[in-house]
């Protein structure tokens, strides 16, 4: 019997995190009698008087939003990190270490419209969001070493409000995942003389097996080591470390491919596709960070339909991450997704 990547279980290496993932493509055929989510509400009003993110409304802490007409940023009313945390660094032996963390958490409203998502916004509106991501990263990077831009879309991914919004958390130290990415990219650059993700993007373009879409400046792939069923990575085709370094044309091209990707997601199961996404760029430190390549991760949980999601349990929590459909199969399905949003058809 000859080995077949689309039939036989195998492991794939993630060079960005120095981890492995188990791929079990034969399991995609198993019948599903497990949990199914309730489909999200399709129709929402452009303005919701009870939404704490809509223009002019009062938030939970009593502050009133301005009547904003584009994007809007405010300090998270329930921030997970605080700028004035007192110093604390204690090591009670090798097994008990504690240190304080300072930071700021902000909420970004993408649009005043309550009924939109990034996938349904115009290119001009998306470009304003990209510009805001860049401005916030630049400002917070002057005070903090790590700036994490992210969005949780949909109740399935824990979003507490359907209004189109994301967040930015800035901290004075790198999180565990950026720390791994930093070490792996630095080691690759020292060993091979090139940026890991720039080399990876070039190889993916040559192979064309996991490419979902591209334009002159950007590339979307289902990573070779993807964990979530329809996970994607958004990569620049040019060397760049952080969002603020993108010029006007690169930001415009980014807005275009973002819309294409998010429409493809929505069209896959004809639903407002839930996901967690976030940007990883070079830390804002005094170190030389030219081994870093800017990129965005998209982690959607849906597996078979709009109501069946992938669970990370059992073996995944105790041994190693596992997926059913192969990254190549996922990329092909996303490529075949129509470019016109299903709500307009």
Q: What residues are annotated to the active site? A: 165
Distance CA 323, CA 123 (A): 33
Cβ of 79: how many Cβ atoms within 10 Å?
Answer: 15
Question: Scanning the structure block, which residue is given the tokens 């004809």?
Answer: 270
Question: Scanning the structure block, which residue is given the tokens 């005094």?
Answer: 286
**Kind plus residue range of the DSSP H or E element containing 89:** strand 89-91
Q: Is 227 exposed, middle or buried (0-12, 13-18, 19+ CB in 10 A)?
A: buried
Cβ of 177: how many Cβ atoms within 10 Å?
Answer: 14
Helix (H, G, I), strand (E, B) or coil at 104: strand
Are the C-beta atoms of residues 154 and 273 closer than 8 Å to each other? Answer: yes
Q: Where are the alpha helices (DSSP H) in 160-295?
A: 176-192, 196-207, 248-269
Number of residues that make up the chain? 345
CA dist 282 to 111, 129, 147, 198, 312, Å? 28, 20, 9, 14, 29
Are the C-beta atoms of residues 161 and 51 closer than 8 Å to each other? Answer: yes
CA dist 221 to 20, 150, 297, 298, 333, Å? 18, 19, 10, 10, 12
Distance CA 182, CA 285 (A): 12
Distance CA 254, CA 236 (A): 9
Q: For residue 100, what are its two tokens?
A: 């304080």
Which of 208, 224, 229 lies closest to 298 in space, CA to CA?
229
CA atoms within 13 A of residue 318's CA, in its CB half-sphere: 3
């Amino acid at each position: 019997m000859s080995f077949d990547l689309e039939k036989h279980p195998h492991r794939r290496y993630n060079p960005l995190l120095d981890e492995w993932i188990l791929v079990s493509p034969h399991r995609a055929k198993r019948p599903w009698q497990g949990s199914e989510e309730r489909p999200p509400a399709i129709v929402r009003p452009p303005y919701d008087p009870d939404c704490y993110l809509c223009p002019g409304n009062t938030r939970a802490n009593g502050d009133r939003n301005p009547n904003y007409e584009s994007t809007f940023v405010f300090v998270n009313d329930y921030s997970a990190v605080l700028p004035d945390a007192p110093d604390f660094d204690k090591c009670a032996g090798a097994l008990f270490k504690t240190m304080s963390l300072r930071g700021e958490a902000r909420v970004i409203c993408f649009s005043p419209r309550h009924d939109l998502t990034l996938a349904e916004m115009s290119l001009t509106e998306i470009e304003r969001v990209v510009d805001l991501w860049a401005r916030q990263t630049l400002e917070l990077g002057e005070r903090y070493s790590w700036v994490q831009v992210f969005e949780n879309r949909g109740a399935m991914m824990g979003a507490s409000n359907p209004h189109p919004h994301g967040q930015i958390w800035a901290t004075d130290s790198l999180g565990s995942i950026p720390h791994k990415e930093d070490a792996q990219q630095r080691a690759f650059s020292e060993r091979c003389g090139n940026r890991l993700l720039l080399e990876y993007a070039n190889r993916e373009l040559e192979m064309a097996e996991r490419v979902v879409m591209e334009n002159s400046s950007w590339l979307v792939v289902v990573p070779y080591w993807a964990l979530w069923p329809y996970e994607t990575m958004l990569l620049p085709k040019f060397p760049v470390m952080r969002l603020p370094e993108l010029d006007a044309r690169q930001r415009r091209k980014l807005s275009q491919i973002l819309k294409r990707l998010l429409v493809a997601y929505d069209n896959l199961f004809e639903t407002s596709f839930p996901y967690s996404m976030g940007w990883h760029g070079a830390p804002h430190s005094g170190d030389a960070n030219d081994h870093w390549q800017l990129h965005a991760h998209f982690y959607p949980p849906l597996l078979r339909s709009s109501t069946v999601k992938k669970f990370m349990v059992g073996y995944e929590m105790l041994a190693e991450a596992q997926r059913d459909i192969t990254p190549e199969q996922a990329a092909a399905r996303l490529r075949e997704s129509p470019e016109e949003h299903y709500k307009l058809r």
